[in-house]
Amino acid sequence: MPFHLGSEYRNVQIYEDSRQGTTSVVPTRYKALITKTTSLTWRGLTHEQWARIGVVVQLVILIRTLAEFYRLRHYYGTAIAFIRYEPYIGGLLINAVLCLAAAVLLFWNKPRASGLLTAATILILLVYKLLVIR
């Protein structure tokens, strides 16, 4: 027996949410109130998930840069001069500021901008390493 909608529901819009496996039938007059809940994905992850991964990667880079001091102290001994560690502080500050900006963008629900800023940060740090840290 086919499903029959009453005469008041002849003009309906059907919305399917593949993530939750649900289907909604909404009268056309409420169409303006409905927003599409599915977001674009790349390799199975949403832009927000990629942005979160990017912020975590930036924090890992930040911790790695802080740990570089101990690597240099182990390599050169306890009498390490500040001059040897000074180039790493510039990269540390660049990463800290841009990581904060990416996290703020993520909290403001701008995952694409946060992801792009994360990618730009990694490129900036690579260029900084090639030009400043030798």
Both tokens of 76, joined, read 């050169």
CA 3/CA 86 separation, integer angstroms? 73
- Those residues of the chain that have pLDDT short of 50 are 1-4, 31-38
| Statement: the pTM of the whole predicted model exceeds 0.95 | no
**DSSP H/E element including 85:** helix 82-107
| pLDDT value for 130 | 94
CA 108/CA 110 separation, integer angstroms? 6
| pLDDT value for 124 | 95
